[in-house]
Amino acid sequence: MLCRLLGDIIFFLPTKRRHMLLSNFHHCFPDRSREWREKTARESCRRIIEMATFILVSPHMSKERLRKRFSIDPEFARRIKENADEERPAILLIPHFAMMEALTILPGLIDGPMQHCATIYRPLKQAAIEKWVLDTRQRFGMELLSRKKGFNRAQEILRDKGVVAVLFDQNAGSRGLLTTFFGRVVASTELPGLLAAKFDARIGGIYTEHTGFWRGTVRLNEFECPEDSSQVVFKANQWLEQKLTDDENICADWLWLHNRWRHQDEPHRRLRLESKRNRLEETLAYQDLSALPRRSRFWIRLPNWLGDVVMAVPLISALRKGRPDAEVTLLAQSHFIPLLEKLELAERLIAIPKKGETGYLKFFKELREDYPDVHILLTNSTRGDLEARAIRAPQRFGIERPGKRRKLLSHTWPKPTELDEAEIHQTYLWEKFFQHFGLQEALDLHPIRIASTQRKQTEAIGLICATENSPEKRWPVERWRELIQAMPDKAFHLFGTSRDVEITNAVADGFSPDRVINQAGKTGLVEFAEALCQCEALICNDTGGMHLANMLGVPVVVIYGPTNPVRTGPIFNGQTEIIQPEGCPRTGGSDIAKVKPDEVVKAYNNLLAQKRDEPETPRIDGQ
């Protein structure tokens, strides 16, 4: 009753540890019901307390009493005798099961001869507790070897045909072998495989199957011993994964409160995979897989403007290359979702509710049960930070600017004070942000072709006469009309949202509808992209549609005035011409009306010449 009570307290307290516990279950068993995951997680907490009390009480139990509570599987007993007769060394892998401490009494459970047994353990700093541990756990003949100093002794025992037990760890740190467990990247200890290969030892997984309170049966599963020590790691992980999946009782015994997958979660290298002993390719070959399962959950909160969303695309692609194990989820405004689906940048898309909608924060709190590992914010608002805090990913990354603390995030990149944002493109600023958290992949800035937007080019020119915001960014209506008049042999398509209809109507007024086709407010985002791809070129203000056309490889002429083309200019490697008023600083700040139509015509002709000289090399389907 005490163990149940204390275990339930651990399970129900709203701590980071509980969040990690349920996250581990959700990652490993996404197809099981929530009720099953919570029930098994709760039982796992109870068994952790059971193990703790057993450690304290078992030293006071006699050998006879322990033998009544614990037994050895007959098949295991047969193999022990067989191994002793053969005088062959053995390596035993101990998984992190609740009653693993009972294995220290193994020599006291065996009738008849048995080889000398030892186990490697982590020594304690407090001398009195360390002495107590050694005295109580070695009383039946099991020798404890310090993981700091006992490696040579372990080799001596194996050389003398003895048995060495090693705790089988999926979080072995920088010395571990990079592989997968439940499809997620881990650093597993390679020590058992190295010892088995060196001493030609038999090797198997040993565990105590829970049969009741402080009761169990010791079982063994022997593995074939391949020459390559890495194969032992792959086999052992596969064996343990199968045990946890197939047997609910054994699953509840594993220490799920520990984070076995934390080796690659250091913030400064979170956006890349890195290890001294990377065996991921060999793991894939062993499991007959062509690519890593995408099981690490990376969520990205996209900006609220189309242009910013497009400028973030190279970062998302680079992240996917740097973390090929990442399951990417994009959180975006609902009207961006159809386009993002076509780009195939993510495994999952979440349409966020509009600001001020009823139940806004409740929506994000419900998302916390999807247990993302990392939440990257490309927004700078308190609202975005509140969303991230409600979702509760353990790691929440954002940019911190002078004078604006972001206390709701777990980790930030403090933008260097010497870095002038007016002198760096938004995409490259984000790249520095991503690099701070480990990104090493270069950005791919080739234009992207998506399935439904294959170029069916006509001689029509696209015009975007309005902007999503800031009226001062708009070239005046009369200038657009003068441009159309200056190009009498060209047809024009006017694009815009329903809010832009008044402007496009004024631009089109009096021109033949067969030559100036007003499509403002008549297309969704995907249809807009398709229409852009049918244009010979696009002439526009500094607006989101310009970035979309540039991403799709459509040649663009962009008219700037007060805004900054250094910071928000076209970023993809398509044909581009940027026009600013005469005398305008390169970072903007002038009246856009000063740009004359003949300058735009000249830029358009330069664009066509550039297009003839430069072959297109687009990316396909966002990959």
Query: Concatenated DSSP letters for 516-567?
Result: EEE-TTS--HHHHHHHHHTSSEEEEESSHHHHHHHHTT--EEEE-SSS-HHH
Band the pLDDT of 449: cuts 50, 70, 90: confident
411 sits in which H/E element:
strand 411-414
Give the per-residue pLDDT at 457.
64
Predicted pLDDT at 484:
97
**Tokens 């832009």 correspond to what residue?**
500
How far are the Cα atoms of 74, 100, 150, 187, 228 from residue 233, in angstroms, in the given order? 27, 19, 21, 10, 10
Region label for 621, one of left (φ > 0), alpha (ψ between -120 and 50) or beta (otherwise): left
Q: Lowest mean pLDDT: which of 64-73, 74-83, 365-374, 598-607?
A: 74-83
Distance CA 594, CA 155 (A): 83
Distance between CA 28 and CA 525 in Å, rounded? 37
Q: What is the 3-state secondary structure (H, E, C) of 310-333?
A: HHHHHHHHHHHHHCCCEEEEEEEE
Helical residues (DSSP H) of 290-376, grouped into ranges: 306-322, 337-343, 360-367
Closest CA to 17 of 390, 370, 411, 394: 394
Q: Cβ contacts of residue 356 below 8 Å, gap of 6+?
A: none
Report the pLDDT value the prediction gives residue 29, as an integer from 0 to 100: 97
In percent, how much of the chain has pLDDT > 90?
75
Amino acid (1-letter code) at residue 562 = P
Please tell me the predicted confidence (pLDDT) of residue 75. 85
Closest CA to 558 of 460, 473, 431, 471: 473
**The pLDDT of residue 61 is above 50:** yes
The conformation of residue 186, written as its DSSP 8-state character, comes to: E
Is 93 a residue whose pLDDT tops 50?
Answer: yes
Percent above pLDDT 70 for the chain: 96
Q: Residue 623: which pLDDT band, with cuts at 50, 70 and 90?
A: very low
Where does the pLDDT of residue 130 fall: very low under 50, low under 70, confident under 90, or very high at 90 and above? Answer: confident
The label of the residue with tokens 């690490």 reads 296
**What does the pLDDT read at residue 158?**
92
Return the number of other C-beta atoms located less than 10 Å from residue 389's C-beta: 19
Closest to 302 (Cα-Cα) out of 238, 241, 378: 378
How distant is the alpha carbon of residue 215 from its chain centre? 40
Summarised one tens digit per residue, pLDDT across range 546-605 is 999 999 999 999 999 999 999 999 999 999 999 999 999 999 999 999 999 999 999 999
Give the pLDDT band (50/70/90) at residue 622. very low
Average pLDDT (127-139) is 89
Tokens of 79: 């193999």
Asked if pLDDT for residue 166 goes beyond 60, the answer is yes
pLDDT at 177 over 60: yes
Q: Which domains does the chain have, with CATH numbers?
A: 70-245 (no CATH), 296-436 (3.40.50.2000), 448-620 (3.40.50.2000)
Predicted confidence (pLDDT) at residue 81 exceeds the cutoff of 90: no
Question: Considering the entire predicted model, what is its pTM?
Answer: 0.93
Phi (first) and psi of residue 41, to 5 degrees: -65, -40
Strands 215-223 and 202-212, sheet pairing: antiparallel
- Output the pLDDT for position 229: 84
Distance CA 31, CA 358 (A): 31
Choice among 33-42, 124-133, 447-456, 529-538 with the minimum mean pLDDT = 447-456
Whether 114 shows a pLDDT value over 90: the answer reads no
User: How many whole angstroms separate alpha carbon 27 and alpha carbon 18?
Assistant: 14
Amino acid, single-letter form, for residue 284: L
pLDDT at 619 over 60: no
> In terms of Cα–Cα distance, which of 616, 503, 599, 479 is closest to 551?
616
Q: Name the helix (H) or strand (E) containing 606.
A: helix 597-613
For residues 618 and 38, which has the higher predicted lDDT (pLDDT)?
38
Mean pLDDT of 116-135: 88
Tally of helices (H runs) and strands (E runs) in the chain: 23, 23
What pLDDT shows up at residue 554? Answer: 94
Question: Which residues sit opposite 327 in a β-bridge?
Answer: 297
| pLDDT at residue 121 greater than cutoff 90 | no
Q: Rounded distance, CA 42 to CA 36, Å?
A: 10
> Could you give the maximum distance between any two Cα atoms of the chain, in Å?
105
Split at pLDDT 50, 70, 90, the class of 125 is confident
Show the 3-state SS of 140-178: CCCEEEECCCCHHHHHHHHHCCCEEEEECCCECHHHCEE
**CA 472 remoteness from chain centre:** 40
| Residue ranges of E strands in 169-214 | 177-181, 184-188, 202-212
Per-residue pLDDT reduced to its tens digit, 215-268: 999 999 988 766 688 889 999 999 999 999 999 999 999 999 998 999 889 999
Lowest mean pLDDT among 315-324, 392-401, 435-444, 611-620: 611-620
Contact 273, 186 (CB under 8 A): no
How is residue 269 written in tokens? 């290298």
Confidence of residue 22 (pLDDT cuts 50, 70, 90): very high
Instruction: Determine the Cα–Cα distance for residues 117 and 102; give it in Å rounded to an integer.
Output: 14
Half-sphere exposure of 490 (CA within 13 A, CB side): 22
CA distance 320 to 272: 9
User: In angstroms, rounded to a whole number, what is the distance separating the alpha carbons of residues 563 and 460?
Assistant: 27
User: Across the chain, what does the average pLDDT equal?
Assistant: 92
Per residue in 275-308, pLDDT tens?
A: 888 999 999 999 999 999 999 999 999 999 999 9
- Residue listed under structure tokens 């009383």: 139
Q: For the residues 64-86, what does the mean pLDDT come to?
A: 86
Q: Within 13 Å and on the Cβ side, how many CA atoms surround 168?
A: 27
509-547 residue pLDDT tens: 999 999 999 999 999 999 999 999 999 999 999 999 999
| CA gap 229, 198 in Å, rounded | 9
Q: Quick one: pLDDT at residue 533?
A: 93
Asked if residue 209 has pLDDT above 90, the reply is yes
Spatial contact of 538 and 554, defined as CB atoms under 8 Å apart? yes
Instruction: Tell me how many degrees the CA angle 387-392-396 measures, rounded to the nearest 5.
Output: 80
Q: In this predicted structure, what is the pLDDT of residue 150?
A: 81
- Residue 609 banded pLDDT, cuts 50, 70, 90: confident
Express each pLDDT in 475-516 by its tens digit. Answer: 999 999 999 999 999 999 999 999 999 999 999 999 999 999
